[in-house]
Each structure stands twice: as C-alpha cells, then as structure tokens.
Amino acid sequence: MTDTQNEHNIQIGGKHFIFKPFNQQTFTATEKAWLSDAQAGEAFVPDVLQGMAWAKDHMTLVDNGVAYGVFIDKAHIAIGICELVVTKPDVRGKWVKLLRLRVRPEIEELLFKNDPSALATAVNAYVCAVIGVYHVKNVHKATTIKVYARTQEQMRFLTLLVTKLNEQEDATFKAAIQGRWLTLNWKKHD
C-alpha cells in the first residue's frame, strides 16, 4: 500500500485537511507539541504519553490497529489523532472502526475558554476523522465502518447522526446504531 493511497485530502468550508498515518517526522513534531501542551497543564502528561505511545507503535497497521493523524494542510503537528482498527470478523467482509479521536490538548483548553477558532478546529477534526474512516474503508475494500461513542454525550450525538445519515438520498449505505457503535454498512465494497 502506497503513501498516496493512505493520504486523504478533505475540504471543509474552503479549508484543506489531510487524514493520514504518521511518519517519523509528523510523529516527532506531534509528540513534542502535545507533550508541551500537557506540561503546560492542558492535559495529564500520562494520558498524552499513553496516546502517543500507541500512535508510535501503530504508524502502520499492527495487530489490526493503526493511528491516523488529522493535519491542517501541510502542517506536521496533528490537530487530532485517530485510533483505528481494521478487522475481518467473518467471510462477509472487513470492518474499519474508529475507536477514538484524541484532540490536541491545546485545542481542548481553548474550547473551555470559548475560543471560536478552536471550536471550528475541533469540529473539523471530527468531520475529517469520520470521512477519513470512510476513505480507509475503500482502501481496505471493507464493507462496514463503525464509530464508537466513548461518552454518553457522544452516544446522544451518534443517535442524531444515524438519522441524518439515513436521510441522504444518494447514499448507498445503511446506517444503524448497534450498542455504542454507529455502523455504516455497504452490501459490497466500492
């Protein structure tokens, strides 16, 4: 699989984002910036270290897991880190799951200060994460994508999102809530 296949360009409101796995350069820049944020009191250092360790171990697909970063254009520091799992639970096809989106601690801190720019950045990171998972599904010729709700608030959001997804007239997937998962299923891969 080439880097080009793994790099997905996403336009939102005229802004350009890239959803892609980390390389050594982007990982090092992201780790340094996120740890600096944490050391400034914007998150617990052990939490950030734990997330970065997982990302470092999953810059490529390892034990079904892979870390993707959400980047603003050509930036080396990710605004979000996505924990993805690619599985083949049965003969019908592969699943790509978004387990978690970690937002950069600095952005989280600014959100709590009602910063409109941080609000837009966090929302865009999430939109990129979901669209990115769809693109990863196509790369892996998977038939299903799943998005996990880690909190009750996220669960309430996914419950609203499933309705919106099923209202899309041109869509070829079926959306449903299964437990704490939003599931989008295609009869066959594209």
Partner 1 sequence: MTESVIHFTHAVNVAPQSDADAIQKAVIDAIQDFGTEKFALSLCESRDAATNKLAA
Binding flag, residue 139, partner 1 (CB under 8 A) = yes
Biggest CA pair distance of the chain: 49
Nearest distance from C-beta of residue 15 to partner 1, angstroms: 9
- Residue keyed to tokens 């970063």: 69
DSSP state of 58: T
Cα 153-154-157 angle, rounded to 5 deg: 90
- Residue with token string 């799943």: 146
Minimum CB distance to partner 1 smaller for 28 or for 138: 138
Return the number of the residue (91 or 153) whose C-beta is nearest partner 1: 153
Least distance between partner 1 and beta carbon 72 (Å): 15
Distances (CA, A) of 44 to 40, 51, 113, 130: 10, 11, 18, 26
And the tokens for 121?
């950045």
CA distances from 83 to 10, 66, 86, 105 (A): 18, 6, 10, 16
Residue 2 engages partner 1 in binding (rule: CB under 8 A):
no
In the DSSP assignment, the letter for residue 104 is: P
Residue found under tokens 């929302």 = 123
In whole angstroms, the minimum distance from the beta carbon of 88 to partner 1 comes to 20
User: Could you say whether residue 35 binds partner 1 (CB under 8 A)?
Assistant: no
Q: Which is nearer to partner 1, 24 or 167 (CB)?
A: 167
Of the pair 62, 140, the CB lying nearest partner 1 is at 140
Binding flags for partner 1, 73-112, as an x/- string (CB under 8 A): ---------------------------xxxx-x--xx-xx
Q: Which of 72, 157, 180, 189 binds partner 1 (CB under 8 A)?
A: 157
Min dist CB 93 to partner 1, Å, is 16
Length of the chain: 190
Cα dihedral 155/156/160/163 (nearest 10)? 50
Structure tokens at 113: 């200060």
Contact residues for partner 1 (CB under 8 A)?
7-14, 42-44, 47-48, 100-103, 105, 108-109, 111-112, 114, 116, 118-120, 122-127, 130-131, 134-135, 138-139, 150-151, 153-154, 156-157, 160-161, 163-165, 167-168, 170-173, 184, 190
